[in-house]
């Protein structure tokens, strides 16, 4: 995977600065699919977990030891929600227009997608779908999710696939307590990133909007996005 362009503003479908962008092509190398895509990406807004961590200033020998406050599936702060709501006009005017919106099923991303895409969805028929491969790497309680049945009630505008498992976040074993916090191993995380790239490459859309987390976006695009920040990139998946 390589990032072809970054911070791109596309005024017309398929054009950038007078240079025509070739239509996305999918190639299969054995069982591996590659494809060029335009990705509009949004990092979720500021969360209650992030506010707690900033208040207690973890991470230094001279600061407090890390204590997880057990903010399971953390939500946006009031300010975090206000900031992402301000993105709605920009999202509605994105060019090229996203053909689908894929969202991490963690609540902070579902809130962000709902707020930022309200005008886009009011103007155009664009599917908005929860995709578990976009979830954050499990490190703290904030990365432990909720059952799709609960999420469907809270977010009726987002489609949760019928085959989405109840436990879609990382657990050490299939029969482990789903609320037990076990860090997702690096190798497992990298395998998930590879599966995500394959999923995106295999989708028919040329242009997608992703609402997800810092680590996922950094791995896909190389970009270091702040909470509530949006960017457009063209990538070879």
Q: Where are the domains of the chain?
A: 2-12+23-236
- The confidence score (pLDDT) of residue 33 equals 76
Nearest in space to 230 (alpha carbons), one of 120, 71, 105: 120
Report phi then psi at 82, rounded to 5. -60, -40
Whole-model pTM over 0.85: yes
Nearest in space to 45 (alpha carbons), one of 169, 198, 227: 227
Looking only at the bridges linking them, the beta strands covering 230-236 and 32-43 are antiparallel
Beta bridge partners of 209: 40, 101
Phi and psi based region of residue 132 (left: phi greater than 0; alpha: psi -120 to 50; beta: remaining):
alpha
Residue keyed to tokens 């009031």: 78
What architecture (CATH level 2) is domain 2-12+23-236?
A: 3-Layer(aba) Sandwich (3.40)
Looking only at the bridges linking them, the beta strands covering 32-43 and 207-212 are parallel
- The confidence score (pLDDT) of residue 26 equals 53
Extract the residue ranges of the chain whose pLDDT is less than 50. 4-25
Summarised one tens digit per residue, pLDDT across range 183-195 is 999 999 999 999 9
For the chain, how far is it from start to end, CA to CA, in angstroms?
5
- The confidence score (pLDDT) of residue 3 equals 54
- The confidence score (pLDDT) of residue 56 equals 78
């Amino acid at each position: 995977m390589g990032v072809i362009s970054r911070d791109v503003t596309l005024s017309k479908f398929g054009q950038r600065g007078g240079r025509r962008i070739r239509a996305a092509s999918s190639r299969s190398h054995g069982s591996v699919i590659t494809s060029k895509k335009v990705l509009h990406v949004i990092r979720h807004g500021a969360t209650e977990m992030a506010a707690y961590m900033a208040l207690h200033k973890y991470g230094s020998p001279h600061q407090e030891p890390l204590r997880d406050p057990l903010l399971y599936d953390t939500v946006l702060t009031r300010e975090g929600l206000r900031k992402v709501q301000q993105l709605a006009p920009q999202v509605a005017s994105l060019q090229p227009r996203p053909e689908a919106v894929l969202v991490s099923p963690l609540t902070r991303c579902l809130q962000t997608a709902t707020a930022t895409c309200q005008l886009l969805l009011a103007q155009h028929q664009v599917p908005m779908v929860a995709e578990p491969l976009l979830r954050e790497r499990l490190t703290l309680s904030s990365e432990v999710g909720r059952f799709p049945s609960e999420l469907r009630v809270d977010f009726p505008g987002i489609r949760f696939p019928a085959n989405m498992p109840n436990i879609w976040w990382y657990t050490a074993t299939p029969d482990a307590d789903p609320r037990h916090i076990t860090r997702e191993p690096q190798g497992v995380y990298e395998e998930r990133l590879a599966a995500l790239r394959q999923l995106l490459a295999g989708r028919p859309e040329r242009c997608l909007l992703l609402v997800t987390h810092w680590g996922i976006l950094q791995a896909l695009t190389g970009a270091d996005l702040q909470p509530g920040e949006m960017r457009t990139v063209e990538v070879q998946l």
